[in-house]
Every structure is written in C-alpha cells, then in structure tokens.
C-alpha cells in the first residue's frame, strides 16, 4: 500500500510511520511542524520507501494513495488552546480535505478521534454508544467539537459518497517522542521529576484518566484500518481500561524513578474532565485487540527516553 500519514512528524504519527514501514508499506508523512518535529523522523530520512511533505491540512492537496491516516491536529491542551480558531480549522477543514482526497482516489481513510468527544462524561466508563457531555463554548471546545465534526464528516461522506472510513477514539496515550514541552501530564511529571522539580498536580489530583502505551495504541490503529466488514466504519475506542487518579500516577512514577517525589498543586483548568476510562469490549471483540504493556513497564520505557534526551 501507499500510505499517507497526516501529522506524521508528531508523537503518534512518527510511531505509526515506523510501524507501517516495518509492515512493508510505502509511507508519506505530511506535517506543518506546529507540534511535530523532523527529528522524530530523522532515522527514516534516507529510506526510498519514505518521504516527508511540509503542508498544512487546512489547504487541499493532490496525492495518489491507498490509505490515509488523518492524525494532523495538536493534541495537548496548551497547544490546541494556543490558537483555537486554527484548531477548529485543522480538524474540520483537514477532515474535509482528506475526505475529498479519499473520495477522488478511492482511498480508505482513518480519522484520529478522541475520548474528548465524551467531554466531561456523565456515563462512566465510556462505551462508543455514549454521545458525550461536551461544553460547546468552553476552553476545550475547539478541540472536542472539532473532533466531533470530523467524525460527523466521516460518517456523512461514508453514507453520501460511499467513502471507506474508520474512526478511532483514542484515550490518553503516552510514550517516547512526546515533546519535553508537550504539556500533557505524563511528560510534564516525568520531566519535572528528572529535573528534581516538584510535580505540578492540577486541582486535588483526584481526577482520573486511563493511560495507554504508544505501541499498544499503534497496534489497535493498524488493526482497525485493516478491518473489513459491515460494521468497520463504526467508531472504536482504543485506550486502557485501567483508571487511575493523578496522585496515583505520581506514586507509580515515584516507584519507577526511585525517589519520593514532591508535588505542588496548581489550579484545575476549566472544564477538565473529572473521570475518564475506556470501555474496550468493541476493540477486543472486533479487532482482537487488548493492551499488552502495563503502566509500570510503559512508564519505565518513557522515563528512560526522557532521561536520555534531557542528558544530551
Ligand atoms: P502531536 O501534537 O504530537 O502530533 C500532531 C501532529 O500534527 C504534529 O506533528 C503537528 O505538527 C501536526 N499538525 C498540527 N496541525 C497541523 C496542520 N494544520 N497541518 C498539518 N499538520 C498539523 O499529538 P499526538 O499525540 O501525536 O496526536 C496525534 C493525533 O491523535 C491527533 O489528531 C490527536 O488529536 C489524536 N489523539 C491523541 C491522543 C494522545 O493521547 N496522544 C489522544 C486522543 C487523540
Ligand atoms: N495535569 C496535571 N498536571 C500537569 C498536566 C496535566 O495534573 O502538569 C492533569 C490535567 O488537569 C488532567 C490530567 O492531568 O486532569 C490529564 O491531562 P492531559 O493534559 O495529559 O490530558 P487530558 O486532560 O486532555 O486528558
């Protein structure tokens, strides 16, 4: 297959490029380098089966490919809130442009959606059948509603034009190649701990998330793209079913780093979801997928990565 990965220079996109190349595909990574970096792909630079295009998905582009993974979009709250109008444009116009390409060349397309479509959920844990509880005018809306519209566009192109779509709802994923300044909790805590700084716990730290290691996420994403059948267009949650509080995350990291980590409380950002945890039955039944990496193992590998880049 010739495969396009938008957002290919980002955290997840670069791991996806690695995986697709090792599966024998030809890969084009497309990115505007807002939160991604060329260094995430530098080890692939000389391969004849790989190329990078600097391009912004809000503008149309003509390419001939078989599969499109549409990952382009800043994922960390500090980055997607930096220019919220641009975030909406990236999700909405990016999805439109990539769907237009799919329709033109008959390519299968996967949209990277998010557990944020469930908002601050009133149903817990969250199955795919839950419609969500999203504030349409809050700080997180540019991201949450942008992704919800992207899902709508995917479904409408599927029903109206027969486009072959896949929708993955990704829950919090962490691992090597998260940027040092990414701002999400796992990279923040690890970088702070390694620098001997107190860990910034927002609010009381009793809010929960379920954290998935990047390799497991990419495996679920590739399995979903390859799935055939009448229900293949329906959204699938890929995430960890293991829910923990942010204070428990501090404790787990303390054991891995081997020191008593100090914390400092910071104000809880507006609309920060209180609880979040994936229901993963659909991924298990339809894709034969389940996470293989424990939180301790995944965090240990991620700590090793940050130790190396901070020492450089
Ligand atoms: P990331 O910020 O590391 O990667 C996003 C990539 O998209 C970056 O390389 C960035 O430069 C690129 N990009 C942003 N706007 C663009 C534009 N307009 N045109 C072209 N490229 C653009 O984030 P990530 O964690 O790798 O997330 C990848 C995708 O997965 C995103 O769509 C995100 O919403 C989704 N997702 C991630 C998580 C997670 O926990 N990592 C959870 C849910 C959903
Ligand atoms: N968080 C925190 N300290 C940080 C960064 C984040 O306590 O330095 C909290 C944040 O308020 C949220 C949780 O950790 O409750 C996960 O935040 P992240 O930005 O990683 O992801 P999201 O909120 O989008 O799930």
Could you tell me if the CB of 9 is within 6 A of ligand 1? yes
Q: Residue 254: inside a domain, yes or no?
A: no
Q: Residue 206: inside a domain, yes or no?
A: no
Could you tell me if the CB of 209 is within 6 A of ligand 2? yes
Residue environment code for 242-272, b if the CB has 16+ CB neighbours within 10 A, otherwise e: ebbbbeebbebbbebbeeebebeeeeeeebe
As a whole number, the mean pLDDT across the chain is: 97
CATH number at residue 221: 3.40.50.720
Mean local confidence (pLDDT), 171-184:
96
Nearest Cα neighbor of 235 from 88, 101, 114, 122 is 114
For residue 200, how far is its CA from the centre of ligand 2 (angstroms)?
A: 10
Whole-number pLDDT of residue 260: 85
Q: Residue 115: inside a domain, yes or no?
A: yes
Q: Residue 160: inside a domain, yes or no?
A: yes
**Which residue in the list 80, 143, 157, 174 is annotated as catalytic?**
143
* pLDDT > 70 fraction of the chain, expressed in percent and rounded: 100
For residue 32, how far is its CA from the centre of ligand 1 (angstroms)?
A: 11
* pLDDT > 90 fraction of the chain, expressed in percent and rounded: 98
Residue 311's pLDDT band, with cuts at 50, 70 and 90, is confident
pLDDT digits (tens, 9 = 90+) for 203-216: 999 999 999 999 99
Question: How many domains does the chain fold into?
Answer: 1
Q: Determine the structural domain holding residue 108 and report its residue range.
A: 2-175+212-240
Q: Residue 263: inside a domain, yes or no?
A: no
Could you tell me if the CB of 12 is within 6 A of ligand 1? yes
Could you tell me if the CB of 198 is within 6 A of ligand 2? no
Residue 258's pLDDT band, with cuts at 50, 70 and 90, is confident
Q: Residue 272: inside a domain, yes or no?
A: no
Q: Which atom of ligand 1 is nearest to the CA of 76?
A: 2
143 is catalytic: yes
Could you tell me if the CB of 185 is within 6 A of ligand 2? yes
pLDDT digits (tens, 9 = 90+) for 94-110: 999 999 999 999 999 99
pLDDT digits (tens, 9 = 90+) for 197-255: 999 999 999 999 999 999 999 999 999 999 999 999 999 999 999 999 999 999 999 99
Q: Residue 275: inside a domain, yes or no?
A: no
Among protein residues, the one whose CA lies closest to atom 21 of ligand 1: 31
Could you tell me if the CB of 131 is within 6 A of ligand 1? no
For residue 148, how far is its CA from the centre of ligand 2 (angstroms)?
A: 21
For residue 75, how far is its CA from the centre of ligand 1 (angstroms)?
A: 5
* Per-residue pLDDT at 168 exceeds 90: yes
Residue 312's pLDDT band, with cuts at 50, 70 and 90, is confident
Q: Which atom of ligand 1 is nearest to the CA of 33?
A: 11
Whole-number pLDDT of residue 259: 83
Whole-number pLDDT of residue 228: 97
DSSP 221-258: HHHHHH--STTTTS-EEES-S-EEEHHHHHHHHHHHHT
Whole-number pLDDT of residue 45: 92
For residue 173, how far is its CA from the centre of ligand 2 (angstroms)?
A: 12
Q: What global pTM score does this model have?
A: 0.98
Strand (E) positions, the chain? 2-6, 26-31, 50-54, 67-70, 108-114, 165-170, 173-174, 199-202, 208-210, 212-213, 236-238, 243-245, 263-266
Q: Residue 152: inside a domain, yes or no?
A: yes
Mean local confidence (pLDDT), 12-17:
98
């Amino acid at each position: 297959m010739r495969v396009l990965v938008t957002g290919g220079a980002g955290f997840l996109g670069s791991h996806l490029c690695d995986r697709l190349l090792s599966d024998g595909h030809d890969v084009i990574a497309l990115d505007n380098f807002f939160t991604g970096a060329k260094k995430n792909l530098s080890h692939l630079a000389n391969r004849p089966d790989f190329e990078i295009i600097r391009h912004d998905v809000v503008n149309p582009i003509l390419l001939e490919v078989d599969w499109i993974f549409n990952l382009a979009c800043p994922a960390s709250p500090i980055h997607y809130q930096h220019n919220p109008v641009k975030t909406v444009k990236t999700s909405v116009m990016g999805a439109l442009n990539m769907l237009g390409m799919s329709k033109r060349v008959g390519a299968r397309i996967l949209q990277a959606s998010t557990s944020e479509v469930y908002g601050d959920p009133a149903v817990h844990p969250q199955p795919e059948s839950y419609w969500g509880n999203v504030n349409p005018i809050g700080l997180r809306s540019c991201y949450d509603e942008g992704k919800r519209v992207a899902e709508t566009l995917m479904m409408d192109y599927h029903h109206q034009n027969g486009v072959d779509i896949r929708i993955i709802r990704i829950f919090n994923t962490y691992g090597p190649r998260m940027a040092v300044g990414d701002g999400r909790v796992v990279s923040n805590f690890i970088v702070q701990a390694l620098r001997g700084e107190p860990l910034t716990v927002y609010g009381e730290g009793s809010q929960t998330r379920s954290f998935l290691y990047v390799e497991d996420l990419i495996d679920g994403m590739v399995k979903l793209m390859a799935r055939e059948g009448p229900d293949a267009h329906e959204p699938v949650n890929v995430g960890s079913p293991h829910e923990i509080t942010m204070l428990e995350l501090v404790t787990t990291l303390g054991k891995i780093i081997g020191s008593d980590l100090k914390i400092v409380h910071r104000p809880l950002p507006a609309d920060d979801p209180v609880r979040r945890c994936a229901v993963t039955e659909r991924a298990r039944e339809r894709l034969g997928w389940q996470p293989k990496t424990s939180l301790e193992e995944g965090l240990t590998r991620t700590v090793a990565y940050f130790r190396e880049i901070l020492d450089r």
